[in-house]
Structure 1
Amino acid sequence: MLNAAGTDTLNVTSEIGTLRTVMLHRPGREVENLTPELLHKLLFDDIPYLPVIQEEHDIFAETLKDQGVEVLYLEKLAEEALHFGNAKEDFVDQLLKESKSNINGASESLKEFLLDLPGGQLISKIMSGVRTSEIDQGRKRHLYEFMTDQYPFYLDPMPNLYFTRDPAAVIGNGLTINRMHEGARRRESLFMEYIIRYHPRFASKEIPVWLNRDYDFPVEGGDELVLSKDTIAIGVSARTSARGIERLAVNLFQKQDQVKKVVAIEIPKSRAFMHLDTVFTMVDYDKFTIHPAIQGPAGEMNIYILEKHDEDPNRVAISTRTNLIETLKEVLHLNDVTLIPCGGGDAIVAAREQWNDGSNTLAIAPGVVVTYNRNYVSNRIMREHGIDVIDIPSSELSRGRGGPRCMSMPIVRDNL
């Protein structure tokens, strides 16, 4: 666990370089703590069946391993980080503060309950949530017993954790540790903050953090695409703000000299088009999947290129574009670009398969992608365009509204 398979601790300079190391989270009891009343608050549309979603996720992980990818697990890294950093109490204090977990004065009892758990059980319990029924009467001396509250949790579950792409994302040799847009997910990036700070694999490496989770405006990893060593794309979406993108660009231009352009792509702000990677992913040097509904007439979109400001390092120079193909050709220095439409461009098929993440592909090498098997039309179209498609079962995984790219945080890729 403590020895990197790749030569670099963090290294992601493209979306398609051969994937060497990735971080996943195997869905746990947190998905069983979903109830119909909590679905909207916890950002789910349905309740996955735990045994099957775990089986499907294990197939996903084994598929990556079979391709030579080192798979790390968020839950294990977090457990080791707290152990090596002697940071268990600090982590619990910060988590409880951010959870606002003081229902009927429960915070002290909850802290005592959590700190009594061994490291692995602590992380698992925090992820799955703490029900009010789990705190026994002996620990409830801090509670106001004359008050009642029908809410079933002292600590909410985190069912979105298996989408490891969003709380943090690697760009170059550093990463963003993100402020999540939705309150239900905001605590998720705390795990990565402690992993980078205390885990032996990362703690001594002086890893640059391009954007911290305490910045006021949200950015999420599903909107961050590393197009090349010098250009990243970020979606202006329902979950990522223009202010967050601008701050990230300023920080990148101040702290490193490899990334020179940030391409901000505006997409419709809706549940169906949650992040840029739900409607647009890179699958080869000159090929991209796309959901056609994000484009206007003649392929027009609102696109902004952010570059270093010549006079003021705290600002960015911004120029505008309207055509995605022409913009990609420009920033990637290509003669031509192919956009592969989700569902083959058929209005009904595209809408159905995009809802099940037909455009959310995980490239594990140039022209080699992992996808959901349920999106058979989109998969066929990609194969017709010369893409090697490895599909995985997805009946339960897809209920969370995220695909293989959403479920993975690449840590090391080969440079192109």
Structure 2
Amino acid sequence: MLKLHVNDETSRLRAVILGTAESCGPTPKIEDAYDPKSAQHIKDGTYPLEKDMVKEMDAVAAVFEKYDVQVFRPEVLKDYNQIFSRDIGFVIDDKFIKANILPDREREIDAIQYVIDQMPATHVFRLPEDAHVEGGDVMPWGDFIFVGTYTGEDYPDFITARTNKEAVHYLAELFPKKKVVSFELRKHNTDPKENALHLDCCFQPVGTDKAIIHKNGFLKEEEYEWLVALFGKENVFEISKDEMYNMNSNIFSIAPDVVISEKNFTRLNNWLRSHNITVEEVPYAEIAKQEGLLRCSTLPLVRD
């Protein structure tokens, strides 16, 4: 049996589901893109190739092996994108919550059923049908659960709005001892530099008391200010619009003092090292073209 335990974003990782780029299918049609960044690369003829993405994910798997992390991979579905395992579920404390994601992606959950079968059935939850959530919007952080959301009347018009207020209420009921804090994210269907697809596209804690953040990803300045005050201005690394676009806030922590980061994130990686955090650099620029990076393609199951 898997003894689930995730209480924050950075404690020592013991078990994780890492997505797979194998058999991810041909380049999608532009009308089938789920986000503006993918659409842009389809249009420009620069959409990533399977062989390059497999190589990038292998590099991450090698880092996990180095740190003795137990790694599960989804069963490979033919011609199906299964890179972003974070979207399909998440663990908080000792509970696994299956996400209500875009209906087209339902099969992704079936492909990790063999992992879910190793969890106590009483600890596996499914959100009610009207509650939409993806794991990229949910971050446990000690006594808090941070949730990215969008509650505008035009929610249905945004393919980029993935987590609604019903999901925020559901999480508050499921975890009554935690403070669930939601953040309105900026959404845009066509401009990737004006779109925060998930909370982890514009914010992520690192270490024990630090955070990476992009101000423009937040619709309400006071919510951004609240986060900066929580971590302390001196502990926050502000990223630019271009750095957000390149997914600088979407790195992944193996421990408070070890992160996996993209090798081109020079400014961020130097900052992390200046705070005594070991940076395991991997190539991930091809996968980043689909508006997801390292946090998006990992689903932590057990942290110390």
Which position in structure 2 is the counterpart of 1:175? 96
Deviations 1:22-63 (A, max 9, x none): 101221222x32244455258733332111111111011111
Supply the distance in 1 between the matched residues of 2:35 and 2:227 (Cα, whole angstroms).
33
Distance 1:221 1:179 in 2: 10
Aligned equivalents of 2:266, 2:199: Cα separation in 1: 21
Amino acid at match of 2:26: N
1:246 match:
169
Distance between the aligned counterparts of 1:48 and 1:173, measured in 2?
36
| Structure 1: distance between partners of 2:279 and 2:257 | 8
- Native 8 Å contact 1:383 1:389 kept in 2: yes
1:154 alignment counterpart: none
Q: Distance in 2 between matches of 1:42 and 1:28?
A: 21
Q: Match of 1:221? A: 135
Paired residues of 2:100 and 2:129 also in contact (CA < 8 A): yes
Aligned residues of 2:171 and 2:180 also touching (Cα < 8 A): no
- The 1-side partners of 2:213 and 2:198 are apart by 12
Counterpart residue type for residue 301 of structure 1: E
d(CA) in 1 for partners of 2:17, 2:115: 13
Identity across the alignment (%): 28
1-structure distance, mates of 2:253, 2:274: 17
**TM-score scaled by length of structure 2:** 0.83
SS at match of 2:175: helix
Q: Who is 1:60 aligned against?
A: 60
Q: Give distance in 2, aligned partners of 1:34 and 1:356.
A: 20
The verdict on how the C-alpha distance between 1:338 and 1:222 changes in structure 2, with shifts beyond 3 A counting, is same
* Distance of 1:291 and 1:325 partners within structure 2: 11
Q: Which AA in structure 2 matches 1:325?
A: V
Q: Deviations along 1:265-300, whole A, 9 cap, x unmatched?
A: 22212353110011111111110111132358xx93
Q: Does 1:361 align with 2:251?
A: yes
What are the equivalent positions in structure 2 for 1:36-51 lying under 5 Å apart?
36-40=29-33, 44-45=38-39, 46=41, 47-51=47-51
Tell me the alpha carbon deviations over residues 330-381 of structure 1, each in whole angstroms, 9 at most, x when there is no partner.
Answer: xxxxx88611112xxxxxxx22221121111211101321111122222223
Distance 2:181 2:61 in 1: 31
Instruction: Kindly provide the CA deviation profile for residues 281-324 of structure 1, in whole angstroms up to 9, marking residues without a partner as x.
Output: 1111110111132358xx93338xxxxxxxxxxxxxxxxxx622
Matches within 5 A, 1:265-304: 265-270=183-188, 271=192, 272-294=195-217, 300-302=221-223
Task: Supply the distance in 2 between the matched residues of 1:377 and 1:54 (Cα, whole angstroms).
Answer: 26
Amino acid at match of 1:124: L
Could you tell me the TM-score, scaled by structure 1's length? 0.62
Paired letter, 1:209: V
Match of 1:405 among 280, 295, 299: 295
Larger radius of gyration: 1
- 2:156 equivalent to 1:233: no
| Residues 14, 245 of structure 1: alpha-carbon distance in 2 compared, 3 angstrom cutoff | same
What RMSD in Å do the two structures reach over aligned CA positions?
2.5
Does the Cα contact within 8 Å between 1:283 and 1:387 map onto a contact in 2? no
Aligned partner letter, 1:177 = K
- 1:198-248: CA deviation from partner (whole Å, max 9, x where unpaired): x3x22xx234234x15521211100111101x3211111421111211122
Aligned residues of 1:341 and 1:378 also touching (Cα < 8 A): no
1:280–1:9 distance in 2 versus 1, CA, 3 Å: same
CA separation of 1:391 and 1:260: change in aligned 2, threshold 3 A: same
For residues 99 and 77 of structure 2, the distance between their equivalents in structure 1, rounded to whole angstroms, comes to 22
Q: Distance in 2 between matches of 1:13 and 1:396?
A: 31
Which among 266, 287, 292 is matched to residue 376 of structure 1?
A: 266
Task: State the distance in 1 between where 2:115 and 2:49 align.
Answer: 32
Contact kept? 2:77, 2:111, Cα under 8 Å: no
Spell out the pairing of 1:306-345 with structure 2 (5 A cutoff): 323-326=226-229, 328=230, 338-342=235-239
Alignment of 1:92-241 (within 5 A): 124-125=77-78, 128=79, 158-159=80-81, 161-180=82-101, 182-192=102-112, 194-195=113-114, 199=117, 201-202=118-119, 205-210=120-125, 212-228=126-142, 230-237=143-150, 238-241=161-164
Q: Check 1:195–1:337 CA distance in 2 against 1; reply closer, same or farther (3 A cut).
A: farther
Q: Which amino acid aligns with 2:222?
A: M
- Return closer, same or farther for 1:224/1:337 CA change in 2, 3 Å cut-off: farther
Cα distance between partner residues in 2 of 1:363 and 1:185: 26
Hey, which of these two has a bigger chunk of helix by percent? 1
C-alpha spacing 1:339/1:40, structure 2 compared with 1 (3 Å):
same
Q: 1: distance between equivalents of 2:100 and 2:241? A: 29
How many pairs does the alignment contain?
Answer: 282
Q: Show structure 2 runs of 5+ residues with no match.
A: 42-46, 151-160
CA contact (8 A) 2:35 2:291 kept: no
Tell me: CA distance 1:377–1:10, structure 2 relative to 1, closer, same or farther (3 Å): same
Return 5+ residue gaps in structure 1 as ranges: 76-122, 129-157, 254-258, 304-321, 330-334, 343-349
The CA distance in 1 between the partners of 2:32 and 2:21, in whole Å, is 16
